[in-house]
Structure 1
Amino acid sequence: MAEEKKPVQIQSLLVGFSIIDLVARHGNPMKFNDIHHYTKITKSNLYKYLNTLTSLGVLHRDKESGLYSAGSTLIEYGMAAVNQEDISLKVTPYLEEINLLSKETTLLAVWTHEGPMIIKMIHSRAGLNLGGQVGTLLPIHSAGGKLFAACKKGALAAEWKEKQMTGLSAEVKKQLEQDMNHIPSDGIAFASDALAPSVASAAIPVFNYEKTIIGAVIIVGFSDNIPAQADEPLGKALLEKSAEISRQFGFQN
C-alpha cells in the first residue's frame, strides 16, 4: 500500500502560530524570556516573530512592562469566529429599533484588550457621523467608556481604567468616579462633549447569563437630542431595550 503523503506546510507559519497559541492560552501577560523558555526559539528569531506579530496587532506588547498578551486583531478574529457570543448578529435588530426610535447614530461596542471598541454602527437619520467609526476605541469619559469602566471586572479592565485616568485633573477624576458609582444601579451611562463639542452620548449594557457585560449599545448625537437622565422618556426606553437585549444572552435581572 502506498504511503500517504503529508500535506506541505510552511514551517515559519507553524512557529508563528505556536507563539500565538502559547501567549493566548497562558492566561497572563508573558515576559520575553518566558516565551523563549517555552518555545526554545533562538532569541534573535523570537524578536523577529514577536515584532511582526505585534505590528499586525495579533499580539500586544505593553510599552511600560514589556509583557506580551493577545492583541486587538487576534481578539477581533476570535470575535468573528464565535461572533462574540452571536452579539453582533443578535443585537443588530435592536440597534435598528433604537436607531429608528432615537433617530441618532447607534453603536455597538465590545471589550478588547485595548478597551471598548465600536464593532457596529448605524448612522443617524441626518447621515451625520458623530460617534467615530468601526474600530474606534472609546475613551473612558464617553458614555460607553464609563459603562465598561463601571461594569467590566478583571485585571485588564482595571489596567485600562488606570491608564485612562492618568493625566486627568483631580476634579475630572472625581466627577468620573461619581458618574461610574451610579451606573451599576442606574443601568445606563451618560456623557457630553466626550467625542466632540456639543455632542452627547448615552450607553446601555448588554449582559450575558453570567451577569458579565459583553457589549454596550450607545446612541450619539447633539446634546439637545440625547437624554441626560434615566427618567427621561428616551432614557426609559433604552433601559427597557437593555433588559430585552440581555435576555437574548440568558441574563435574568
Structure 2
Amino acid sequence: MTVDSESPIGARPQKVQSAEVGVGILKALAELAPSTSLSKLAEYVGMPASKVHRYLQALVDSGFAEQNPVSNHYALGRSALQVGLAALNQLDVLKIAAPHLMSLRDELNETCFLAVWGNKGPTVVYVEQSLGAVTLVTQIGSVLPLLGSSTGLVFESFLSATETSALRDAEAASLNAKQLKDIATHIDDIRSNGVHQIQGLLMAGVNAVSSPVFAMGNKLVGVVTVVGSASVLSDERQTLAAQRLRATAVAVSERMGGEMPFPV
C-alpha cells in the first residue's frame, strides 16, 4: 500500500480531497440549475469564491461545466449531461417507458413525459414532444409541484406519507381549506381509477392527464403524463387521452413486474 508523500499517515490523499471538492461543486451546480453566479455557488458550498473559481475552471475545461459569456453564470456542461443520461439509462422504468410514450405521442400528437421522485419532488426525466405546430415545452429536469400539478397529485396518492410530508406541508401552508378539500377529492379519485384528469391546475390554458407506474412489490416508480393546450386537449379528446395513458401505464407496470392497486 502506498501513501501520498504530501499527506500525513492516516490523512486522505490530496487528490482524493480535491476530487471530493470537485464533485461537491458539480452537485451544487445541479442543485442550483439551470445556472448560478460564482458568488451564489460559493455561498451555497460554503467555500471562498476564489477557491470555487479554480475548481470551476477545471470543470469547464473538462466539459462538466460551462459559463454563459453574457451573464457569466455557470451551469452543467455537455459532459455532465452525458453522464446524467447514462445514469438515467440504467433506470428500468425509463428504458421500458420510452418506447411506449413515443407510441402514445404519435397516436395522440400531444406531449408525453415520464417523471420520477427526486430529492426535490416530481422530476421530469423523459419527454416526447408533440409534433404539432404548437408544442408545450416540458424540459428534462423540471421539478413539478406536488399539490399543484396532475403529476404531483399522483405521486401524493401512491407514495408513502413519510416520503412526501416535507414537500406536502410546505405547499399546503399556502392553500385554503377549500383547496385542500379539493385536493383530497382528487386523491380519492386517483386511487380509485388510476388516472387523473385536470384542467388548468399548473398553468392556465393547459390540461393534463397523469397515471402511475408500479414495479414489483407495488412500488411506485414513476408517473406518466400527457399535457396539451386546453383548446385541443379537452372534453372527449382528454377522455381518450386518459384511457390511452392509463393503458400505457398498465403496460409499463406489467413489464416492470408491478400490479395496479385499482381495477384494471
Paired residues for 1:228-243 under 5 Å: 232-243=239-250
Letter in 2 for 1:208: A
Is 1:117 aligned to 2:110, yes or no?
no
- Structure 1 CA distance for aligned equivalents of residues 166 and 237 of structure 2: 29
- 2:179 match: secondary structure: helix
Aligned twin of 1:107? 113
Is 1:168 aligned to 2:163, yes or no?
no
Instruction: Report Cα offsets for 1:148-180 as digits up to 9, x if no partner.
Output: 111111423121112121211221111111101
Is 1:133 aligned to 2:127, yes or no?
no
- Structure 2 CA distance for aligned equivalents of residues 131 and 188 of structure 1: 22
- Does the CA-based 8 Å contact 2:88-2:94 persist in structure 1? no
- Structure 2 CA distance for aligned equivalents of residues 162 and 49 of structure 1: 24
Paired residues for 1:74-223 under 5 Å: 80-81=86-87, 83=89, 85-139=91-145, 140-223=147-230
- Does the CA-based 8 Å contact 1:209-1:252 persist in structure 2? yes
Relative distance call for 1:204 and 1:84 in structure 2 (3 A) is: farther
Instruction: Report Cα offsets for 1:4-43 as digits up to 9, x if no partner.
Output: 898x861424665999xxxxxxxxxxxxxxxxxxxxxxxx
- 2:46 match: secondary structure: helix
- Structure 1 CA distance for aligned equivalents of residues 130 and 196 of structure 2: 20
Q: RMSD in angstroms over aligned alpha carbons?
A: 3.6
- Structure 1 CA distance for aligned equivalents of residues 113 and 88 of structure 2: 20
Letter in 1 for 2:213: V
Aligned twin of 2:61? none
- Does the CA-based 8 Å contact 2:200-2:206 persist in structure 1? yes
**Where in structure 2 are there 5+ consecutive unaligned residues?**
5-12, 25-41, 53-82
Letter in 2 for 1:214: V
Sequence identity (%): 22
TM-score, length-normalised on structure 1? 0.67
**How big is the shift at 1:125?**
2.0
* Stretches of 4+ aligned residues off by more than 4 angstroms: 3-6, 14-19, 47-50, 77-80, 227-231
Letter in 1 for 2:94: S
Aligned twin of 1:65? none
Paired residues for 1:12-91 under 5 Å: 12-13=17-18, 16=21, 51=46, 80-81=86-87, 83=89, 85-91=91-97
**How big is the shift at 1:132?**
3.0
TM-score, length-normalised on structure 2? 0.65
Q: More deviation in 188-197 or 177-186?
A: 188-197
Relative distance call for 1:196 and 1:48 in structure 2 (3 A) is: closer
Q: 1:246 aligns with which of 245, 253, 260?
A: 253
- Structure 2 CA distance for aligned equivalents of residues 148 and 230 of structure 1: 24
- Does the CA-based 8 Å contact 2:114-2:125 persist in structure 1? yes
Letter in 1 for 2:242: G
Q: More deviation in 232-241 or 210-219?
A: 232-241
- Does the CA-based 8 Å contact 2:209-2:241 persist in structure 1? no
Matched pairs, number: 203
